Amino acid sequence: MPNGSLDRYIGKVSLDWKTRYRILSGLASALLYLHEECGNPVVHRDVKPNNVMLDSEFNAHLGDFGIARLLQNDNFGNTMAAGTPGYLAPEVSYTGRATLESDVYSFGMVVLEVVCGRRSRGMMEENSLVDHVWTTHEKNELFTCVDPTLEGKFDEEEVRRSILVGLACMHPDRRHRPRMRKVVQIFMNPDEPLIKIAVSRPTAVSLPLHSSHSDSIASEFSSNKAPAEGKGSMDSLPDEMTVVFDDR
C-alpha cells in the first residue's frame, strides 16, 4: 500500500482529522464484513495499527490474517491465546479464547490511539492511554485528550462519538461491547444514537467457562468454595464468572 501502515502516523506523522475519521470508519467496515457479512464469522485476533494498511487515498485495509480464525458453530476460537499485548481483551489472557468481542476490544484501542495521537502499551502501564481518556471522560473534559498536533482543527461531534465508541468497545466485560454493525452506523450516521457508557470506568471482567484454561480457573474456584448440599461443585458453576480488577 502506497501509504504504508497506520502505525507510522500515530505519534509520528500527523494526519488531519478528516483522514483519521475515514480510516476509523474503513477499519470498522472491514471488521463488520469479517464478523457478519462474509458467511461464517472470522475473528482477526490481531487488530492493531501495524496491520491497518493505507492506500493512496488513505482508505483503510485490514491485513495480516496469519492468526485469524473461522468461527463456525460456536462463538469462541478454540486456540491458544495469540495477538499483541496492549490490544488483547482482558478475558483472552485468562481463557485463551478469541471471540468477535475481543476483536471489538482491539478496535477500541486503535480508535483511542488515532484520536489521541499516542501509542499505548496496554492498560497496565503507568499513566496508560486508556486511563487518561477515562479520566477526561469522568471530568467531562473529553477534548483535552485529542492529539495536540491537530491544533484544535477537528469536528467536535465526530471526535466525541469516536472517543465514546472507543471506550464502549473496550468495556472489560465482553457482553457489554457493541457489535461492529452498531459501530459502523455510529461512524456513518451522525443521527445514530450513541452507546451509553458509565460515568466512571468499569472494572468487572466476565470470563466464559468454556476452555481448558478457564476450566482450571473454575476448578480452583470450586475447590475454594464448599458446594451446595446435593449439588456437584462443577454443576453449580455458572456459564460466566465475573472477576473484578483494578489496574490503577
Residue 228: how many other CB atoms lie within 10 Å: 10
Mean pLDDT of all residues in 121-142: 84
Please tell me the least confidently modeled range out of 53-62, 65-74, 81-90, 115-124: 65-74
pLDDT digits (tens, 9 = 90+) for 160-178: 999 999 999 999 999 999 9
Which position has the higher pLDDT, 65 or 183?
183
Per-residue confidence (pLDDT) for residue 86, from 0 to 100: 82
Which position has the higher pLDDT, 235 or 156?
156
Whole-number mean pLDDT of the chain? 81
Q: pLDDT class for 247, splitting at 50, 70, 90?
A: very low
Per-residue confidence (pLDDT) for residue 216, from 0 to 100: 38
Q: Flag whether pLDDT at 234 surpasses 50.
A: no
Which position has the higher pLDDT, 11 or 121?
11
Residues with catalytic roles? 46
Which position has the higher pLDDT, 96 or 36?
36
Tell me which residue has cell 480508535: 111
pTM value > 0.85: no
- Residue 67 DSSP label: T
Q: Which three cell numbers stand for residue 14?
A: 500527523
Sign of CA dihedral 224, 229, 233, 234: negative
**Domains, the chain, ordered by start:** 6-200 (1.10.510.10)
Q: pLDDT class for 68, splitting at 50, 70, 90?
A: low
**Counts of helices then strands in the chain (DSSP H, E):** 7, 6
Instruction: Using only the alpha carbons of the chain, give its radius of gyration.
Output: 19
pLDDT digits (tens, 9 = 90+) for 72-106: 544 444 455 556 778 988 888 777 788 999 999 99
Per-residue confidence (pLDDT) for residue 92, from 0 to 100: 85
pLDDT digits (tens, 9 = 90+) for 176-216: 999 999 999 999 999 999 998 988 888 766 666 554 444 43
Q: Flag whether pLDDT at 108 surpasses 60.
A: yes
Q: Which of 192-196, 226-230, 243-247 has the highest mean pLDDT?
A: 192-196
Q: Which three cell numbers stand for residue 135?
A: 479520566
Please choose, from the candidates 15, 14, 11, 87, the residue with its C-alpha nearest in 3D space to the C-alpha of residue 51. 87
Are the beta carbons of 44 and 31 closer than 8 angstroms?
Answer: yes
Please choose, from the candidates 9, 16, 10, the residue with its C-alpha nearest in 3D space to the C-alpha of residue 159. 16
Tell me which residue has cell 466525541: 160
Q: Flag whether pLDDT at 13 surpasses 60.
A: yes
Per-residue confidence (pLDDT) for residue 230, from 0 to 100: 42
